[in-house]
Amino acid sequence: MTDSPSTPRGTPPNRKQMTQHLGAAGLALYDAAVTMGTEFGATWRWAHSEATGAWTYRAYMPGERFLMALSLADTGFEASLNLKPEEWEWIHGESTDERVVLDALRDKAIATGDSPAWLHVPMTAQLDLSVLAKLLFARGRRVEAPRRKKRR
């Protein structure tokens, strides 16, 4: 959510603002995504971007390792995470709809040539939650050393 009179710099959006933006069904989907991150062992904290003026709710694994971020968007909200090319082998859609979404995300990621490549998954329906679960499963398998320096 960008800076506005209802969300001044220094204040992340509250539940009422999120309900107005997402609606009851969207807020339930958002809460399910947060719960999913927590079940992966992540802790959450708000972060503000000076560049975009937006707030994100970020999930970190033990050792301060980034897992994913949830950001409010025009169409609701999106989940952002990064995957390495070799992590895609662990991701398989169960339904045709899941395979279509995952194939499109994989194609975008590979086209960037980045390792890891950033994925931005619009979250609008239960199908998206299922796709996110598969992506997080692959992302959560990555072994990373804890950060040595304390971040601000």
Domain interval for residue 102: 15-140
Rounded to two decimals, the pTM is: 0.82
Q: Span 108-122, mean pLDDT?
A: 90
pLDDT of residue 53: 82
With respect to residue 5, please indicate whether it lies within any of the assigned structural domains. no
With respect to residue 2, please indicate whether it lies within any of the assigned structural domains. no
How many domains is the chain partitioned into structurally?
1
Distance CA 56, CA 48 (A): 6
Return the bridge partners of 120, or none: 80
With respect to residue 51, please indicate whether it lies within any of the assigned structural domains. yes
Distance CA 98, CA 80 (A): 17
With respect to residue 6, please indicate whether it lies within any of the assigned structural domains. no
pLDDT of residue 144: 62
Distance CA 25, CA 19 (A): 9
With respect to residue 145, please indicate whether it lies within any of the assigned structural domains. no
pLDDT of residue 140: 72
Per-residue pLDDT band for 87 (boundaries 50, 70, 90) equals confident
